[in-house]
Structure 1
Amino acid sequence: MKNSKAKIGLVSISDRASSGTYQDKGIPSLKEWLAKALLSDYEVVEKLIPDEQPLIEATLKELCDQENCDLILTTGGTGPSRRDVTPEATLAVATRTLPGFGEQMRAVSLAFVPTAILSRQVGVLREIEDHAALIINLPGQPKAIAETLEGIPSKGIHGIFAAVPYCIDLIGGPALETRPNVVKAFRPK
């Protein structure tokens, strides 16, 4: 029997924010967006960690395997610099990839900046015996986080979150309902 309350893991991946050099903006941005977008009851588990692949992998496994998060959103570490290893860590813990998430995030971002082609975000599933989680790597900038989640409705460009509730349904998680004025969840009839 699935839980009625969604559990969402939020992971901000940043060497400087995790060391206290500057204040993390990723998790607060994600929490603000989720509060604005979701009608469903949910619980959040937060992690602020450095760009270390083994630690990212361990954190993603913990959020899925021990915390039973249905959805895990990461922010940061998806660029081309040598320290950006979030996609590699995410793929290392994945059981299946969902390439459409990364493709659509880049498509949304390309409407704003030509450097979106440097982004390496991925979407994957991590499945264990009695649980599964959807893991999505989001951009690091708060504005880009909201844009990729919501899309650009005025230009007919869908955000990725429109597909998230149905994906959570398909992997056995709780129903997520959204505020249509922020992002309209799509479920086939």
Structure 2
Amino acid sequence: MKIAIVTASDRASRGDYEDLSGPAIADWLATAMTSPYEIVRRIVPDGVETVRTALIELCDAEGAALVFTTGGTGPSPRDLTPEAMVGVIEKELPGFGELLRSIGLQQTPTAILSRQTAGVRGRSLIVNLPGQPAAIALSLQGVFGAIPKCLDLIGAGRMTVSDRWGAEGRAAPTLPDYLRS
């Protein structure tokens, strides 16, 4: 199974700073997944067209079953990842965004500013995650239980996860030490 990670960040795409969000997703997946998978990563500037182009390429040409985006979901003028989803996804899955905001609100009141969502393009599931590594881990713990079922329903393939997830994907895998605060 191919899993793609798209980091939307002007500064990381220019090399002004190291992307920590994409690797945080990859590290977290390594604790949760038991089925074989390949990760493809992209770091793109914020912006509708750059993110949209990456999503379409990863879903259609690369055949990614699961695509995580990180960054670009806030209210600032350059945060345009949700807008990039328009015209890419065929079905929105608003429950992901609702749950992600709920999880974030347990940590900080500014989580209400998040505009995360998820959707389906063909046989690919695209999920918007926040841009901070600690928030990514909490978000994945909350939504990951639904991802294998969704992938199966859309015909993307079967994903198996660690026994720590239990029969219904409710228990979260242990966080790497650097994500604990």
TM-score by length of 2: 0.90
Instruction: Name the structure 1 match of 2:130.
Output: 139
Instruction: Name the structure 2 match of 1:111.
Output: 106
Instruction: Name the structure 1 match of 2:90.
Output: 95
Query: What is the CA-CA distance between 1:185 and the residue it aligns to?
Result: 6.5
Query: What is the CA-CA distance between 1:27 and the residue it aligns to?
Result: 1.1
Residues 6-155 of structure 1 correspond to what in structure 2 (within 5 A)?
Answer: 6-127=1-122, 132-150=123-141
Letter in 2 for 1:17: A
Query: What is the CA-CA distance between 1:184 and the residue it aligns to?
Result: 4.4
CA distance in structure 2 between the partners assigned to 1:28 and 1:45 by the alignment: 11
Instruction: Name the structure 2 match of 1:164.
Output: 147
Superposed CA offset, 1:95-153 (max 9, x none): 110000000000111111111110000100012xxxx1000000000000000111xxx
CA distance in structure 2 between the partners assigned to 1:116 and 1:18 by the alignment: 25
Q: Secondary structure at the match of 1:93?
A: coil
Q: Secondary structure at the match of 2:87?
A: helix
TM-score by length of 1: 0.87
Instruction: Name the structure 2 match of 1:3.
Output: none
CA distance in structure 1 between the partners assigned to 2:36 and 2:115 by the alignment: 31
CA distance in structure 2 between the partners assigned to 1:74 and 1:90 by the alignment: 10
- Summarize the Cα distance change of 1:65–1:83 in structure 2 as closer, same or farther, 3 Å threshold: same
CA distance in structure 2 between the partners assigned to 1:185 and 1:18 by the alignment: 39
Query: What is the CA-CA distance between 1:90 and the residue it aligns to?
Result: 1.2
**Which runs of 5 or more structure 2 residues have no equivalent in the other structure?**
170-181
Instruction: Name the structure 1 match of 2:168.
Output: 186
Query: What is the CA-CA distance between 1:11 and the residue it aligns to?
Result: 0.4
Query: What is the CA-CA distance between 1:175 and the residue it aligns to?
Result: 1.1
Higher fraction of strand: 1
Identity %: 49
**Which runs of 5 or more structure 1 residues have no equivalent in the other structure?**
1-5, 151-158
Q: What do you get for the CA RMSD once the two structures are aligned?
A: 1.2
- Summarize the Cα distance change of 1:102–1:92 in structure 2 as closer, same or farther, 3 Å threshold: same
Query: What is the CA-CA distance between 1:55 and the residue it aligns to?
Result: 1.1
